[in-house]
Amino acid sequence: MSNVVSALQGVSADGYVEVQEMGLQGMLTLRGDLSMAKLAKAVKAAVGVEMPKQRKINLNGQTGAAWMSPDELLLIMPHAQATATAAKLTKALGKTHSLVANVSDARVVFTLSGKGAREVVAKLAPVDMQALKKGEIRRSRMAQVPAAFWLSGKDEITIVAFRSVATYVFDLLANAAAPGGEVDAY
């Protein structure tokens, strides 16, 4: 459908770090016992990656899986595939006690690009951004709302937040990335 829109429809801001809303991203919440082989197999079949370990995110191109808690994963895929993947996963899990929910539209995704990406996050989240490793997903808060983020490239961080506060998070990031705010502490 052509009138399917993300929260901020690709808005961006040029500061000393660039802030970009990434448009719609397919996302599923999977709740279940992550230690079960059956679950790992279903996840592999659905998004093509291994079961991520504690606080890890495994990405393979457009798809992937992120560890959200001991019984929750965030599965990532192109937006158009979310419904089909959810159905496929639900079917594969069958009677296994689990919950699959399409949360693609409940989210907003931003990237921060530039040398200061880490420090821009560190202005808003009580997290040691200097120590964040590649392949790690960190759930925390940004100012007054929950957010999750990971390093998605050299000097690039991807941030996921709730759709209803998309404008708030964008304004936060644009403000923190505004020229002149360079901390240069890392």
The token pair at 131 is 């120590």
Site size toward another protein (CB under 8 A) is 64
Residues in the chain: 186
Minimum CB distance to another protein, residue 115 (Å): 16
Binding mask 33-52 for another protein (x = CB under 8 A): --------------------
DSSP 103-129: -GGGEEEEEEESTTHHHHHHTTSSS-T
DSSP 37-58: HHHHHHHHHHHSSPPP-TTBEE
Site for another protein (CB under 8 A): which residue of 42, 127, 157, 159? 127
- Residue 125 lies near another protein (rule: CB under 8 A): yes
Tell me the CA distances in angstroms from 78 to 35, 39, 40, 84, 140, one per residue in order: 26, 21, 20, 11, 25
CA separation for the pair 52, 68 (Å, rounded): 10
Nearer to another protein, 61 or 144 (CB): 144
CA separation for the pair 88, 94 (Å, rounded): 10
Minimum CB distance to another protein, residue 111 (Å): 19
Nearer to another protein, 12 or 102 (CB): 102
- Residue 101 lies near another protein (rule: CB under 8 A): yes
**Interface residue list for another protein (CB under 8 A):** 1, 3-7, 24, 29, 31-32, 54-55, 68-72, 79, 97-99, 101-107, 119, 122-131, 138-141, 143-146, 162-168, 171-172, 175-176, 178-181, 183, 185
